[in-house]
Structure 1
Amino acid sequence: MPETSSPILRFGIVADPQYADIEPNVALDRYYAGSLAKLTEAVSVFNATELDFVVTLGDVIDHDWKSFDDILPIYETLRHKRLFLLGNHDFAVPPQHLGDIPARLGMPGRYHDFSIGNWRFVILDGNDVSVFSAPPGDPRTALAAGRLRALQAKGAINAQPWNGSLGDEQFAWLSGVLERAEVDGEAVLVLGHYPVFPPNQHTMWDSERIINLLTGFACFKGYFCGHNHDGNFGEVDGRPFVTFKGMVDTESENTFAIVEIFEDRIEIEGFGREESRVLRLQAST
């Protein structure tokens, strides 16, 4: 396809607004209350163009259940479909609300998939097995503690309590989605909160098995995530793994993106601190 071809679809991306009505953490360069103005600016840009949807890659809030009441009305001013992923900070709420977060964000489930044309989008829940996301007494918490201890014993860089992993049920579901997409001739883009590549202190505990699964399918075209506020980029077998920068960082500089998917490439238009990229798509064979 020529470079001047029209995109198949377009969507907006926001990563880690991490809103809270609190003073900034200057040492971390995080200005939590400032995300309301930044998100308002992003919505204005998104509303000025045609998009299929806008997705937030987790950490809508920093903490506190009532923080949702402040930031979600801004999302309601979007004229486009809005989608959310669950981030670790979204679970920093009282225990009685832990099971209510997907519904508060209007999600059909903690993880799910949908298609637009020949493209299938996979929404992962990287908090599935973590030390913070399950109600008291849930066996997943003990499983997560064991996974974390095993990584810590190895001295793994990502052995951090703010990371998480997929449960075996979700992992099997992901494999099934990829298998069906491969048979149906669909292209798959996976969206998660946590990075899986390149390796760093923010990657999922089970990133290796996820990478091996994804790159084993020709239909898998790329992985987009947040969580690492500095952003990142890498490739495995020619497939891009893009980490988008965190909106909560810096006092005044914004960061968000518009993604266009073409037959032969993905173009990311970065705004503010976000980088613009052209990602070549591997042909499915």
Structure 2
Amino acid sequence: MSSQNPLLRFGVIADPQYADADPWLELDRHYRNSLGKLREAVAVLNAEDLSFVVTLGDLIDRGWENYDAVLSIYGDLRHESLLLPGNHDFAVSPEWLGGIHERLGMPAAWHDFSRGGFRFVVIDGNEVSLFSTAAGDPRHELARRRLDALAAAGAVNAREWNGGMSDEQFAWLEVTLERASEAGEKVIVMGHYPLHPQNEHNLWDCERLTGLFARSGNVVAYLNGHNHAGNLGRDGNTWYVNFKGMVDTEAENTFAVVEVFPDRIVIAGHGREESRLLPF
């Protein structure tokens, strides 16, 4: 019999992408309006019983100075706040690039933790990219080579605004999933970039990760932002949930509450975000 009470509940926000800047009307991105949307989301989520609230990247659109305004709103959140960066969070002066993870209060660029008997894993898809490091850095040069190879192969995600992972991080992820399997834990992985279905916004390493998840068999869901239109897919035992971008539209909000049961995930969408029932 299915459990009627969730093992845990948590909030999800994706791509507030705030900036003190005029809107980009062609893409329907209204940067200043994200502060009001965030205040609304925080008020709603504060009224919920939640284990934490995760923001799946792109707190700002650009400019180190914009972190102050957006992070001050998160200061009103009564729940634990997990912030992870997206590509836009690195659109700052080069001297600030090394301080992004600390600014977001992250224990490490990639890490894991346990809640409600589930293993949560945070990955860093910005690690190998053209924006997270300055020219001349070995990771920057590696990113250029990877992007050139993807472009030569005609990959749809061969875009400068995507990124990838190092072999070191992939090996860590592999070990983390193995340990979770040995402990009998189901896993929920969270990152900024989508992995599945195929999309121009996908992580450069997407097939490598979806293959790992399929082999592991214990990753029940992967949660991400980046593609502001949102998306949903399933491959093997894993649901791939792309949450919609808060910065889009002039006034309509988007965020969600996720309930985790032993046999399913239930997503209660607010605003433009869709509500979903995802059985394991």
Give, in angstroms, the shift of residue 117 of structure 1. 3.1
> In structure 2, what is the equivalent of residue 81 of structure 1?
80
Q: Does 1:271 align with 2:236?
A: no
Give, in angstroms, the shift of residue 135 of structure 1. 3.6
Give, in angstroms, the shift of residue 86 of structure 1. 1.3
Distance (whole Å) between structure 1 residues aligned to residue 132 and residue 213 of structure 2:
25
- Give 3-state SS (helix, strand or coil) of 1:215's partner: helix
- Give 3-state SS (helix, strand or coil) of 1:148's partner: helix
> In structure 1, what is the equivalent of residue 7 of structure 2?
8
Distance (whole Å) between structure 1 residues aligned to residue 2 and residue 210 of structure 2:
31
> In structure 1, what is the equivalent of residue 184 of structure 2?
185
- Give 3-state SS (helix, strand or coil) of 2:33's partner: helix
> In structure 2, what is the equivalent of residue 161 of structure 1?
160
Distance (whole Å) between structure 1 residues aligned to residue 23 and residue 85 of structure 2:
23
Distance (whole Å) between structure 2 residues aligned to residue 144 and residue 137 of structure 1:
11
TM-score by length of 1: 0.97
Tell me the amino acid that sits aligned with residue 109 of structure 2: R
Distance (whole Å) between structure 2 residues aligned to residue 86 and residue 210 of structure 1:
19
Q: Does 1:148 align with 2:147?
A: yes
- Give 3-state SS (helix, strand or coil) of 2:252's partner: coil
Provide, for residues 257-285 of structure 1, a one-character-per-residue CA deviation record: whole Å limited to 9, x for no partner: 0000011110000000000000001xxxx
Asked if structure 2 preserves the Cα contact closer than 8 Å seen for 1:130 and 1:144, the reply is yes
Distance (whole Å) between structure 2 residues aligned to residue 218 and residue 105 of structure 1:
31
Distance (whole Å) between structure 2 residues aligned to residue 74 and residue 93 of structure 1:
20
> In structure 2, what is the equivalent of residue 26 of structure 1?
25
Q: How many aligned positions are there?
A: 280
- Give 3-state SS (helix, strand or coil) of 2:35's partner: helix
Give, in angstroms, the shift of residue 85 of structure 1. 1.2
> In structure 1, what is the equivalent of residue 207 of structure 2?
208
> In structure 2, what is the equivalent of residue 170 of structure 1?
169
Distance (whole Å) between structure 2 residues aligned to residue 85 and residue 150 of structure 1:
27
Q: Does 1:52 align with 2:51?
A: yes
Q: How does 1:89-108 map to 2 (within 5 A)?
A: 89-108=88-107
> In structure 1, what is the equivalent of residue 227 of structure 2?
228
- Give 3-state SS (helix, strand or coil) of 1:197's partner: coil
Q: Does 1:69 align with 2:93?
A: no
Q: How does 1:96-135 map to 2 (within 5 A)?
A: 96-135=95-134
- Give 3-state SS (helix, strand or coil) of 1:72's partner: helix
Displaced runs of 4 or more, over 2 A = none
Distance (whole Å) between structure 1 residues aligned to residue 60 and residue 234 of structure 2:
30
Distance (whole Å) between structure 2 residues aligned to residue 150 and residue 101 of structure 1:
28
Give, in angstroms, the shift of residue 136 of structure 1. 4.1
- Give 3-state SS (helix, strand or coil) of 2:16's partner: coil
Asked if structure 2 preserves the Cα contact closer than 8 Å seen for 1:95 and 1:136, the reply is no
Tell me the amino acid that sits aligned with residue 88 of structure 1: N
Asked if structure 2 preserves the Cα contact closer than 8 Å seen for 1:99 and 1:135, the reply is no
Extract unaligned runs of 5+ from structure 2: none
TM-score by length of 2: 0.98
Provide, for residues 104-135 of structure 1, a one-character-per-residue CA deviation record: whole Å limited to 9, x for no partner: 11100111111113111001110010011014
Asked if structure 2 preserves the Cα contact closer than 8 Å seen for 1:163 and 1:202, the reply is yes
Tell me the amino acid that sits aligned with residue 2 of structure 2: P
> In structure 1, what is the equivalent of residue 42 of structure 2?
43
Distance (whole Å) between structure 1 residues aligned to residue 156 and residue 135 of structure 2:
28
- Bigger mean CA offset, 115-124 vs 267-276: 115-124
> In structure 2, what is the equivalent of residue 248 of structure 1?
247
**Identity of matched residues, %:** 57
- Give 3-state SS (helix, strand or coil) of 1:33's partner: coil
> In structure 1, what is the equivalent of residue 138 of structure 2?
139
Give, in angstroms, the shift of residue 138 of structure 1. 1.4
Extract unaligned runs of 5+ from structure 1: none
Give, in angstroms, the shift of residue 154 of structure 1. 1.3
Tell me the amino acid that sits aligned with residue 200 of structure 1: N
Asked if structure 1 preserves the Cα contact closer than 8 Å seen for 2:220 and 2:238, the reply is yes
